[in-house]
Amino acid sequence: MQDKAYKVLARQLNISNNKAKELIDRGVVYVGDKKVKIARALISIKTKFRVEEIQKSNIIFEDENLIAVNKTPFKTSEELEKEFNAKLIHRLDKETSGVLLLAKNDAFLQKAVQAFKKQEVKKIYSAWVEGIIAEEVVINVPILVLKGKKAFAKVDKKRGKEALTIVKPDILHGKKTKVEVEIKSGRTHQIRVHLASIGHPIVGDELYGSVTQSKRILLHAKKIELLGYSLEAPEPKEIAKYK
């Protein structure tokens, strides 16, 4: 006998259907080592689920102007905005970890937003990618963000907006490469799209072509410098060392 995955999970954990669906959509529900991706998929009512714990996001730095948070995976930026009662200066994708900045007052928020618009911010990321990158790569290709229920972007030289990404190899592990990435702009999914466009999607990023299963997209916002601040988040173990 079968039922929808979120309903089976709800009964198993004694939680509401909405909460069960939210856990599946967040990407933390597994059957064995396989992630459950579709909440409404039919599944045996005897299925045993495993739910990954969502780690707490901690404050790295705080003063009268901003809060810098080490965002953990599977938390949205908007959720952390509510949790820390401050305004988002920028955003990170749900599965991306690392430095997330929130403003504590409107004056600093406006200054920070302008710094981002003028590209006066230095942003460094760490990522594991498919394949071997042996030397620095500069990707200067416009990106077009497509409208829909879920964020999606693609390289589009005619209709896209300017985007510049600098990729430097760090560590080789089999047929995977750990890279340091600096972005000069901040387009939606910029790093993910640009790396996929050169045949090296980020490990776990199935949306943009990764063929390797991973608990999450292996992308970490390592460091941000703006308005005299320099803020850094230590790499989690899955980023520091591949398996």
Residue with tokens 């790093």: 191
Per-residue pLDDT reduced to its tens digit, 42-87: 999 889 998 988 889 999 999 999 999 999 999 999 999 999 999 9
Please say whether the beta carbons of 194 and 141 come within 8 A.
yes
pLDDT reported for residue 184: 83
Each residue's pLDDT tens digit, 23-48: 998 888 989 888 888 899 999 988 99
Whether residue 205 lies in the annotated active site: no
CATH number of 2-51: 3.10.290.10
Catalytic site residue from 25, 33, 63, 93: 93
Locate the domains of the chain by residue range.
2-51, 58-240
CA dist 152 and 210 (Å) reads 15
Contact 24, 18 (CB under 8 A): no
Q: Report the side by side order of strands in the sheet with 29-31.
A: 34-35, 29-31, 50-51
pLDDT tens digits, one per residue of 115-157: 999 989 999 999 999 999 999 999 999 999 997 777 899 999 9
Token pair belonging to 208: 């943009």
Could you list the beta-strand ranges (E) of 72-108. 87-88, 97-103
> Which helix (H) or strand (E) covers residue 77, if one does?
helix 77-84
The domain covering 58-240 belongs, at the CATH homologous superfamily level, to Pseudouridine synthase (3.30.2350.10)
Distance of CA 151 to the CA centre of its chain: 12
* Distance in angstroms (rounded) separating the CA atoms of residues 179 and 177: 6
Spatial separation of the C-alpha atoms in residues 191 and 183, rounded to whole Å = 8
> What is the distance, to the nearest Å, from the Cα of residue 208 to the centroid of all Cα atoms in its chain?
13
